[in-house]
Structure 1
């Protein structure tokens, strides 16, 4: 028995052929499985890179080549009439071509000197522009809004003459004079065109969003118009006509009277009862020539007889 064991130990054991093939197949399958997992991972990484990285050659360079420039924006909402302070402003970089006209590149330009006050509400992160501000930090005033040679004039209005309260600061209007003199028929004249409204009542907020009936409207006029309008208000009634946005064209009009109110149809004047003119006297009958007659004597008596023509 011991000899047989020693002989078995010396003779190498042979593995069956079918077990060798199974081991090789198992190693091939395991290698394929790992290659499939690695390929899936690489594909996932490639998809993520394609999603987050810029497409095309030079895309990153083109994106970074957009010129940027500083601009002052509102760090917090700024209400109408509020003074601009450093805590309400911040400086950010924006695309240089997207900066609006009248922007500011430094914060100290808005807070030094007289300072600036908001003429309308400014939302947070909105670029601050000069058109939304007025110089002079202590209070709002109409004077800084005027042109170098212009004047501010208040016109008395009501619900009708003031376009039902639908005129807002910043709008453009035409002015008409309606007059009824004692010696002539009523008429209407065009006084001024394309006049800018500075304030409605005491409100200069160009972002006003609620209409309201007021007693006065402050407008911007030249010195000659400032001389004419008070005289016009003393002799008649001023009416405002609201213009569309951006329409600054001038039109040519003539004085309009009551007889011009129709649309070109024939007008038949009817007089009031009791004001009819007196009847014209009838013409005198034409003078008739006297008939010719002769004296006829009959039995000593004389008589006249007409002579037929």
Structure 2
């Protein structure tokens, strides 16, 4: 009986030791997994709320709350001009980036096309109650000015709102035809009456382009357009170089030298007049130095 009791006791102790060993291994595994999850959490990017389009939207579409939703986005790679709220929360300060102010009922309009889940940026939408158009693209303090163009006056078939162009004037100065660079890096805000930067008519030749300029530039371009013809030159999207004064006339273009008229040398003659018997006699003498 004692032998049986001893055997049972030994078996129990063995099982208890095995259970402790298994429990210890399980606890160590749980702790390792916990440490791994903590490390992954610390390495994971921080996320912020970002307002995105819920559906495909085109230029000019009015945007309401039903067209938007909020998703998580890595904080360190947020695009400039994102919104964090569809509508400003109660008590929100001026630093809150909300698509709509609290209680705002007027829709905004799309200035560019949007695809589902694309972040909605402030530069791609109008203010509440403002439809898409030239007014929505004008920078405060700037003016819109229309320039007549055709297939011969520039790259009108390839221009898009948002492009930058140099403006050249051709006319007469004195008795010579001259082409002169008068404005550089002027931003286009509309092609004909279309301010859609995503338009797809690749081969459409514009009749007018509308540029964004200062009031002083409006006066200069008006004078230039009334006294000659204007030509546009497209500036590359990544071109930040500065262009100096450019003026070319026919002689410069053809490499002709201006004729210099040299007056013939006039020999100085010195004379003396004498009266001989009532007759005036002119005698040539050497001129003094």
- Give the TM-score normalised by structure 2: 0.67
Matches within 5 A, 1:216-255: 216-255=208-247
Gaps (5+ residues) in structure 1?
Answer: 1-54, 270-309
Residue 56 to residue 178, structure 1, CA distance change in 2 (3 Å): farther
Q: In 1, Cα distance between the equivalents of 2:36 and 2:57?
A: 39
Q: In 2, Cα distance between the equivalents of 1:95 and 1:59?
A: 21
What's the offset of the Cα at 1:113? 5.6
Matches within 5 A, 1:109-124: 109-111=98-100, 112=104, 114-124=106-116
Q: How far does the alpha carbon of each residue in 1:59-98 deviate from its partner, in whole angstroms, 9 at most, with x for none?
A: 4224334311100011111111001112210011121112
Question: 1:163: which partner in 2?
Answer: 155
Q: In 1, Cα distance between the equivalents of 2:246 and 2:113?
A: 42
The question of whether the paired residues in 2 share the 8 Å contact of 1:81 and 1:117 is answered with yes
What's the offset of the Cα at 1:227? 0.6
What's the offset of the Cα at 1:56? 9.0
Please state if 1:105 is matched with 2:84. Answer: yes
The question of whether the paired residues in 2 share the 8 Å contact of 1:114 and 1:135 is answered with no
Larger Cα-atom Rg:
1
What's the offset of the Cα at 1:58? 4.3
Matches within 5 A, 1:147-162: 147-162=139-154
Number of residue pairs matched by the alignment? 211
Tell me whether 135-144 or 167-176 shows the greater mean CA deviation: 135-144
Residue 78 to residue 62, structure 1, CA distance change in 2 (3 Å): farther
The question of whether the paired residues in 1 share the 8 Å contact of 2:49 and 2:72 is answered with yes
What's the offset of the Cα at 1:206? 1.7
Q: In 1, Cα distance between the equivalents of 2:71 and 2:143?
A: 38
CA RMSD of aligned residues (A): 2.3
Question: 1:17: which partner in 2?
Answer: none
Q: In 2, Cα distance between the equivalents of 1:104 and 1:96?
A: 12
Q: In 1, Cα distance between the equivalents of 2:205 and 2:129?
A: 29
> 2:85 is paired with a residue of what secondary structure?
coil
Residue 224 to residue 99, structure 1, CA distance change in 2 (3 Å): same
1:259 to 226, 251, 257: 251
The question of whether the paired residues in 1 share the 8 Å contact of 2:157 and 2:205 is answered with yes
Residue 163 to residue 79, structure 1, CA distance change in 2 (3 Å): same
Gaps (5+ residues) in structure 2?
Answer: 1-31, 88-97, 259-289
Question: 1:172: which partner in 2?
Answer: 164
2:198 to 199, 207, 229: 207
Q: How far does the alpha carbon of each residue in 1:185-213 deviate from its partner, in whole angstroms, 9 at most, with x for none?
A: 11011110010000111111122343221
Please state if 1:69 is matched with 2:48. Answer: yes
Structure richer in strand, relative to its length: 2
What's the offset of the Cα at 1:248? 3.1
